[in-house]
Amino acid sequence: MKMIDSALIEAQNQSQLKHLEQDYQALGEKLARSGQDIEALTKAAQAFQIAVPSWGTGTGGTRFARFPGEGEPRNIFEKLEDCAVINEMSCSTNAVSPHFPWDKVSDFSELKQTSEAYGLSWMGINSNTFQDQKNQPLSYKYGSLSHTDPAVREQAIAHNIECIKWGQTLDAKSLTVWIGDGSNHPGQSHFQRAFERYLSSMEKIYAELPADWEMHIEHKMFEPAFYSTVIQDWGSNILAAQHLGPKCKSLVDLGHHAPNVNIEMIVSRLIQFKKLGGFHFNDSKYGDDDLDSGSLHPYQQFLIFNELVDAEHRNQEGFAPAYMLDQSHNVTDPIESLVNSAIEVQRSYIKALLIDRNKLYQYQDENDALMASLELKNAFNLDVSPILAMARVRDGGPINPLQTYRASGYRQQAAEKRPADKNATGSGIV
């Protein structure tokens, strides 16, 4: 089932196809001179997929205000429609990451069937114990899995176990746990005791994981707690993951680090110790800004993919990270931002494939710092847009996704079909 008419895509492509073919051929010849096969790169671009966060299809906001967009999805079924559009335009987002209880439904098999009709699968079930839900018996104001009160911890554990059960009906294979637990005042929380309580709660969730599932822990240095958080950094994260066992791994959200932290090196360490579970891609200038992927630091994103492609190249054992976007779109149409972001992440991947690994290793062994650096920079500087566009064309997608999306009038139709609902879910920022 298609959301955007393929005749429209074809008509839009027709006027641009000749130029794309010329650019593709010229790039192919240039790459061939350095022994690169453009067809292999195009196939790699077609194979690359990153999951869309269900909550990202709604307009985000800040603690000051939220300015809703037109035609926002009001439930998970409408979010799925938007995710299908994003996949049809980007040809690289064939999975959705849901958030419970925001996306909870009474009939999960109906949800599964609907997603299948769009050609979408489910990846990375997100639990939510960072806010109180209507009719929830106990509050998470002072924490959840690390709360001082065992009854609150039990409630949070039970929710995570429920998330696994719902995820099983959707055929997902991982649970992502991010908690807001922490403290706002020095002395408020005993660091070690809070971490011990967290580990003890996580042990109970881990014990309920199906054999083919993984649990991914997401760290974050601040917010909602502003003095300390229980899983503050990748150090706490990997300690917890190692304590819990091989099915527990770390998830790297690019925005959840202090400015200037060397994230690519963290990625390398996690790969080395078989603890890289997945990513939440986004970009930021200050803290957890949740800006569009690659909008500010495309070179950092490329350097992360340099580590990921290196692990692929070396056939690193146990290497299969889940790629997901996690962004907040405050001033753009979320569909446009997610299409563009998925393509920007895919772009980093293809550029990282251009690096000549053997040459790079040789420069490293010879301590030739500048040539090693240029091996990376030359790959980054090459415009691989024709490869990405050709990959989409071969999958029946648009050469220019944003132009085709706007020409479809999808947002205007959604605005008519979906009048604003004050009970709508999905404006969360995580």
Alpha carbon distance 118, 249 (integer Å): 30
CB of 250 vs Mn ion, minimal distance in Å: 12
Three-class secondary structure of residue 279 per DSSP: strand
Smallest distance, Mn ion to C-beta of residue 356, A: 33
Closer CB to Mn ion, 177 or 372, in the complex:
177
Report in angstroms how near the CB of residue 176 gets to Mn ion at its nearest: 8
CA distance linking residue 351 with residue 288, whole number of Å: 26
Host H or E run for residue 43? helix 38-47
Query: Which CB atom, from 173 or from 280, has the smaller least distance to Mn ion?
Result: 280
**From residue 391 to residue 430, what is the string marking binding to Mn ion with x (rule CB under 5 A)?**
---------------------------------------x
DSSP symbols for 235-259 = HHHHHHHHHH-TTEEEEEETTSS-T
What phi and psi values does residue 376 have, to the nearest 5 degrees? -75, -50
Q: Residues 316 to 335: which contact Mn ion by CB under 5 A?
A: 326
Interface segment toward Mn ion; rule CB under 5 A; list 133-141, 276-284, 288-296, 347-355: 276-284
Stretch that binds Mn ion, among 49-57, 118-126, 274-282, 338-346 (CB under 5 A): 274-282
Nearer to Mn ion, 46 or 126 (CB): 126
Least distance from C-beta 163 to Mn ion, angstroms? Answer: 16
Site string for Mn ion, 223-262 (x = CB under 5 A): ------------------------------x---------
Total residues binding Mn ion (CB under 5 A): 4
Using only the alpha carbons of the chain, give its radius of gyration. 22
| DSSP symbol at 291 | B
Phi-psi region of 134 (alpha: psi -120 to 50; beta: other; left: phi over 0): beta
273: three-class secondary structure by DSSP: coil
Q: Which of 280, 329, 347, 392 binds Mn ion (CB under 5 A)?
A: 280
Q: What Å distances lie between residue 1 and 5, 64, 117, 409, 417, CA to CA? A: 10, 39, 6, 18, 19
SS3 at position 97: strand
| For Mn ion, the closer CB: 288 or 310 | 288
- Binding of Mn ion by 290 (CB under 5 A): no
- What is the smallest separation between the CB atom of 55 and Mn ion, expressed in angstroms? 10
As measured in angstroms, the least distance from the Cβ of 95 to Mn ion is: 16
> Beta strand 182-183 with 228-229: parallel, antiparallel or unpaired?
antiparallel
Strand partners, 281: 325
Closer residue to Mn ion in complex, CB, 55/118 = 55
Per-residue contact track with Mn ion, 140 to 179, x per CB under 5 A? ----------------------------------------
Q: 3-state DSSP helix/strand/coil percent for the chain, to nearest 5?
A: 50, 10, 40
168 phi/psi in degrees, rounded to 5: -65, -40
Nearest to 328 by CA among 428, 217, 187: 428
Supply the minimum distance, in Å, between the C-beta of residue 342 and Mn ion.
Answer: 16
The nearest distance, CB 290 to Mn ion, in angstroms, is 8
**Considering beta carbons, is residue 323 or 380 the nearer one to Mn ion?**
323
| DSSP 8-state class, residue 63 | S
Residues of this chain that bind Mn ion (CB under 5 A): 253, 280, 326, 430
